[in-house]
Structure 1
Amino acid sequence: MSYIQENQPLFALGFLLFLVISVLLVLQYLIIRYGQRFLAQAIRYWVIIKRYLGKNTYIIQFKDRYPKLYLMLSQRFDLRHFHGLSLTLLFIVMGYILALFLGLVEDVATLKPIVATDYFVSAQMSLLRDSDIINFFIQITSFASTPMTVLVMLLTAIVCWVIRQRYVIIGLMVATLGSAAFTFLSKSLFQRERPANILLFEHTHSFPSGHATITVALYGFVTYLLIRFNQNFSQKTRIFIIAIFFMILVGLSRIVLNEHYLSDVLGGYLVGALWLTVGISVTEWLSAKNKISWQLEWASSHIYMIWLSGIGIFISTLVYAELYQFPLLLS
């Protein structure tokens, strides 16, 4: 017990990771077991509700009085094409994420309780600066560094070009470059100072976290592509769960290394999610225009290229961390 009390932040971090892994594994099990059935039932009930509303007296009167408005609204909830319910849901998601981000900005600017939480978490993480766990998180955070994100973007674009799905690159650029520009402008606007006990030297401002942003925007878009090109539901679910865990790890690395406050990482997640949704919307719009085909016959050379790209990114990240990130470690 005395050892646990002396290393409370480390045990709290370990418990948090255990909790996250447990929740994700349960979520993976539930999605694989019940996901397809739930989706089919949801679509079935949606069709039933639409039929019921179509026979409703008030809806019929509204249709007769405002035919053009009714047609426009009914098209927004049509399941048969992208410009219907899919686009409507994407816009709702974007609006909700933006509202959450603006709410977080207000809380940080007005020194709401989340700021006190930021300082408390930062103080606890500073106690881990001599722990061996720091080396692990330096390697994790390197995956979202600028050189590595450029490499991931380049390799993803090359793969899309080789498999002749070049319009996918447009969505990739929208998600990554849009999120990067938004983050740069936000940092310049808010000019929040980084935590006092920072471990790796940084010369940019703190809010929102660029690493958290690009992790969701870039790696989230790569995850979207892997899921979209995959036809196996179980594999899609596992890819999604692994990606979520990776994003959590990168965000956590920024907090453990005291590079950012908790609210910085949350803000970065929201900005990344916003631009990821925009990138996916653009890609799905191009797909609806028959510019992209998701039903591909994968050649062995293409599969090898994807695996070699992943291995190359992993090795490059470890080398980058060793040659560049570790020397930045402040004593």
Structure 2
Amino acid sequence: MAAIQNSLEVISGADESSRNAIIILKRQVRHMARLVNDLLDVSRINRGVLRIEREVVDVKQSVQAAVEAIRRQVHVKGLALEFDLPASPVHVEADPERLAQIWDNLLSNALKYTEHGRITIKVQKDTAEALITIRDTGIGMNPDQTRTVFDTAHQTEDGARRGGLGLGLQLVKRLVDLHDGTVEFRSEGPGLGSEVALTLPLSRSVLPAVSSSAEVAMPASRRILIVDDQPDIADMLGLLLESMGQKVRVAYGGDNAIEIAHERRPQVAFIDLSMPGISGAEVAKRLRQEFSPSQLTLVALSGYSADHPAAQGMQFEHYLLKPATYETIVALLNSLPVN
């Protein structure tokens, strides 16, 4: 708070002084905002009320965006940034805001505890997981201390001097757990730097085809309508269906879904239930007034299980739990009569 108060006192001064004061002010406000958000999110996780809104995210782009946010601070400290990134996207199903929060905490930690040298960010993937590694040449710690860095009360004496509440790594661990991933902290000793390695499951909807999938017959080509208010999710499902030879149109919400259906005359409609405005249930009701089940198959997409109260009474022929897998969609389309 002292840094903010003193910065405000000189904002009305000379131009150069004002600019420097504003830079300090923004940095301190961002730091305090992150501390407050971390406190709130740890509290939400402990109470079981933190929601994860999953969508398909390219880890490579997500990490690069986080690095851009701290690039100036890295430059001011005279540190080098090194990247080892794959050429192709690395897709996971995750909450993009929570992923950004993970990278922000890890990169801020690396920056805080590194006075010289470099920060290295590496992204890899295998057949099932994305592996992200952030390594620094900072102060490091005794290897026997690394086992407790994710504990609630863990904070080093040096960490307290540098500012912070010791919540960053705890929050990272909890957020990674909510994404069904793993995280590990490593250091070979004081002065030898640190490394954080985490894994996240790859998006099943964009996993490369394996032999068992290759043996499944591709479904007959149909006109398909996707109705979802989240463009990234809708577009990714569209790409997946097009890779199966389907003819796809997308409506980003219920407002124009009916109009597109009038024009396109789809044979199958994948409809998200959790849309603002005209709900998925209302879209299905209006479509059913015009198209019989033999003309149009309605498929509900939802994060709720089919027996959840919110899913009861829906007039859909099929119900898919998000995220629907490649194999599930192929099997569903193959089960439909060709009309």
Name the TM-score, length of structure 1 as normaliser: 0.21
Q: Which structure: greater strand fraction?
A: 2
Q: Which has the higher contact order (CA 8 A, sep 6+)?
A: 1
Larger Rg: 2
